[in-house]
């Protein structure tokens, strides 16, 4: 696979021709990733391996900005794509808020984990791990009837080169695995799932994914319906916390704030959460799945406090939104792919622990409520501006006086994101890495259950 220096050199060759093709400024974003993915549904195996490479180009003509992309990193195609971006820029209206592309800034020495062992893991070795994991899942009980196991390994690199002197990028490794289990007993069918994600190869967690999913499913036998609707407390397990807190990413986006599309507009330095709650956005977290030396404009990633002891302290900025306020970018320019323009987004959300407690210890703090873990549905329907949510969990338990009484066939937790922040009672310490960040289980109050 192509390396970082090679990507930068390709970008430089095109950037040098900016004036020649009619651009006042030019930015070349190049990316390449080698992806191996596999899915095993009981005994049926499918695998895919491919190289995903491409370029996204911003061309500036006066205060007009054009963007074009291509699924290639060939110098010839990149040059043609740059010319297309210039043509598009000339058709665009002037943007009075656009100042210029980012200037180079020296990055810190911190970067995300790049695991050479993961790079060298062969497809056959990963398939063997999947097979062994599934066997462990079936070995848990004869009630386990079906296991759906997925594993994805990615080794990637990206570079940002612009005509103002930015020439930088980073490389990364990630591995992600999940297993979904269906179990049957006496005519009753239950399901559950488990996930694991990391920047490095860790064999044991990959092997135990199916086993843990099976354990979760087996605990759901004998589930009952909630006897009546009530308002109470909830322990939300670490790997589903993002289903309730993802509107945070939307509302701290500086672009949304500036355009009055955020519930946090005009709330800076005011209390928005429980006074004991502190939430960080840490783009320097070594194990973080979204940690890179620089963001996707070439600006060094940083660690920043979003909410400190309940008080909203800052938003996340890319260069465009930062220049609008006469400040520096926070290193939060992200792209879904090379086909997208950069935009502000969080990197790794980290909630500071309030107590040395995991989910089981937090359950003991519940007077009357529900423990939410595993399958959830409906979080994508949350209105991030209004904050209203209605999330259904298929792996939940009714809790009274600190004891789990019985599993629930399903339960819907309703509430409001902004009120949830204020009603967080305890942030635990059982951290788990997810694409949202490094997240522990939490205990919250005043959730509506039906």
What pLDDT digit, counting tens, does each position of 321-379 carry?
999 999 999 999 999 999 999 999 999 999 999 999 999 999 999 999 999 998 899 99
**What number is the average pLDDT over the span 236-247?**
97
The reply to whether 79 and 100 lie within a common domain is yes
Q: How far, in Å, CA of 249 to CA of 360, rounded? A: 28
Q: Is residue 416 part of a domain?
A: yes
Res. 22: pLDDT tops 70: yes
Is 118 in contact with 173 (CB distance < 8 Å)?
yes
The Cα 442–Cα 393 span in angstroms is: 16
- Which of residues 160, 193, 218 is at a domain's end? 218
| Domain finish residue from 218, 252, 284 | 218
What residues make up the domain containing 366?
A: 230-449
Q: Average pLDDT of the chain?
A: 97
Give the pLDDT confidence score for residue 150 in this predicted structure: 97
The tens digit of pLDDT for each residue in 391-430 reads 999 999 999 999 999 999 999 999 999 999 999 999 999 9
The per-residue pLDDT for 110 is 76
Element (H, E) at 157: strand 144-162
**Both 239 and 209 in a single domain?**
no
Q: What is the pLDDT of residues 114-156, one digit of tens each?
A: 999 999 999 999 999 999 999 999 999 999 999 999 999 999 9
Whether residue 225 lies inside any domain: the answer is no
Note whether 27 and 101 are within 8 A (CB). Answer: yes
Q: Are residues 52 and 111 in the same domain?
A: yes
Q: Say if residues 268 and 278 touch (Cβ distance below 8 Å).
A: no
Cα separation, 90 vs 62, in Å, equals 9
The structure tokens listed for 238 are: 């670490």
Domain boundary among 218, 242, 258: 218
Can you tell me the distance from the alpha carbon of 251 to that of 243, in angstroms, rounded to the nearest whole number?
Answer: 15
Does some domain include residue 249?
Answer: yes
Q: Which of 420, 442, 421 is nearest to 431 (CA)?
A: 442
Look at the alpha carbons of 75, 76, 78, 82 in this order and tell me if their dihedral is positive or negative: positive
Q: Is 160 left (phi over 0), alpha (psi -120 to 50) or beta?
A: beta
| Cβ(31)–Cβ(18) below 8 Å | no
Same domain for 102 and 154? Answer: yes
Angle value at C-alpha 218, between 212 and 219, nearest 5 degrees: 95
State the greatest distance between any 2 C-alpha atoms of the chain, in Å, as a whole number: 75
**How many C-beta atoms lie closer than 10 Å to residue 186's C-beta?**
7
Q: Domain check: are 191 and 278 in the same one?
A: no
- The confidence band for 109, taking pLDDT boundaries of 50, 70 and 90, is low
Report if residue 335 sits inside a domain: yes
Q: Domain containing 79 — which CATH number? A: 3.30.2290.10
Q: Is residue 224 part of a domain?
A: no
For the chain, how big is the Rg over CA atoms in Å? 24
Each residue's pLDDT tens digit, 244-295? 999 999 999 999 999 999 999 999 999 999 999 999 999 999 999 999 999 9
Is the pLDDT at 196 greater than 80, yes or no? Answer: yes
> Structurally, how many domains does the chain consist of?
2
Please name the residues in contact with 81: beta carbons below 8 A apart, sequence gap of 6 or more: 55, 57, 68, 69, 70
Q: Are 36 and 123 contacting, i.e. CB atoms less than 8 angstroms apart? A: yes
Q: Are 238 and 202 found together in one domain?
A: no
Q: Is the separation of the CB atoms in 244 and 379 below 8 Å?
A: yes
Task: Extract the tokens encoding 104.
Answer: 């180079």
Same domain, 418 and 292: yes
Q: Where are the alpha helices (DSSP H) in 329-447?
A: 359-363, 417-422
Contact 291, 252 (CB under 8 A): no
- Kindly state whether residues 27 and 116 are assigned to the same domain: yes
Does any domain span residue 108?
A: yes
Q: What is the mean pLDDT of residues 176-198?
A: 97
Based on the domain organization, do 193 and 251 belong to the same domain? no
Q: How far apart are CA 344 and CA 349, in angstroms?
A: 14
284 and 425 housed in the same domain: yes
Structure confidence at residue 53 (pLDDT): 97
Among 426, 421, 418, 415, which Cα is nearest to 232's?
415
Q: Same domain for 442 and 401?
A: yes
Give domain status of residue 284, yes or no: yes
Q: What is the DSSP string of 296-342?
A: TTSPBP-EEEEEETTEE---B--HHHHHHTTS---S-EE-SSTTS--
Q: Taking a C-beta distance cutoff of 8 angstroms, is the pair 220, 190 a contact?
A: yes
**Residue 410 and residue 398: Cα distance in Å, rounded?**
10
In a domain, 223, yes or no: no
Of all residues in the chain, what percent carry a pLDDT higher than 70? 100
Q: How far apart are CA 276 and CA 264, in angstroms?
A: 19
The answer on 427 and 332 residing in a single domain is yes
């Amino acid at each position: 696979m192509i390396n970082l220096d090679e990507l930068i050199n390709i970008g430089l060759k095109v950037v040098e021709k900016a004036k020649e093709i009619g651009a006042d400024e030019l930015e070349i974003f190049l990316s390449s990733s080698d992806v191996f993915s596999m899915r095993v549904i009981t005994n049926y195996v499918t695998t895919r391996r491919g190289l995903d490479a491409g370029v996204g180009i911003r061309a500036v003509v006066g205060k007009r900005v054009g963007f074009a992309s291509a699924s290639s990193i060939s110098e010839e195609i990149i040059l043609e794509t740059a010319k297309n971006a210039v043509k598009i820029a000339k058709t665009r209206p002037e943007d009075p808020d656009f100042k210029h592309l980012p200037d180079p800034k020296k990055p810190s020495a911190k970067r995300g984990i790049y695991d050479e062992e993961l790079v060298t893991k062969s497809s056959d070795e990963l398939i063997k791990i999947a097979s062994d994991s599934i066997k462990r899942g079936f070995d848990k009980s004869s009630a386990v009837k079906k296991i759906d196991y997925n594993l994805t390994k990615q080794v990637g690199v990206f570079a940002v080169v612009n005509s103002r002197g930015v020439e930088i990028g980073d490389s990364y490794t990630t591995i992600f695995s999940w297993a979904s289990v269906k179990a049957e007993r006496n005519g009753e069918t239950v399901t559950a799932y488990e996930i694991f994600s990391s920047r490095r190869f860790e064999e044991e967690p990959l092997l135990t994914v199916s086993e843990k999913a099976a354990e979760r499913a087996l605990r759901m036998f004998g589930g009952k319906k909630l006897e009546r609707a009530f308002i109470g407390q909830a322990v939300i397990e670490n790997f589903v916390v993002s289903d309730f807190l993802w509107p945070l990413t939307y509302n701290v986006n500086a672009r949304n704030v500036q355009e009055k599309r955020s519930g946090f507009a005009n709330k800076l330095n005011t209390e928005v959460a429980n006074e004991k709650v502190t939430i960080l956005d840490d783009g320097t977290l070594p194990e973080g799945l979204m940690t890179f030396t620089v963001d996707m404009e070439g600006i060094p990633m940083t660690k920043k406090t979003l909410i400190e002891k309940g008080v909203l302290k800052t938003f996340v900025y890319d260069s465009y939104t930062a220049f609008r306020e006469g400040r520096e970018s926070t290193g939060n320019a992200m792209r879904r792919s090379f086909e997208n323009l950069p935009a502000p987004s969080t990197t790794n959300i980290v909630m500071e622990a309030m107590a040395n407690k995991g989910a089981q210890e937090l359950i003991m703090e519940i007077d009357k409520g529900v423990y939410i873990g595993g399958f959830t549905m409906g979080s994508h329907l949350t209105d991030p501006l209004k904050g209203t949510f209605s999330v259904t969990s298929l792996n939940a338990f009714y809790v009274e006086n600190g004891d789990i009484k019985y599993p629930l066939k399903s339960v819907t937790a309703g509430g409001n994101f902004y009120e949830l922040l204020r009603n967080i009672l305890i942030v635990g310490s059982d951290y788990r890495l997810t694409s949202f960040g490094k997240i522990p289980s939490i205990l919250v109050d005043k959730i509506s259950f039906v």
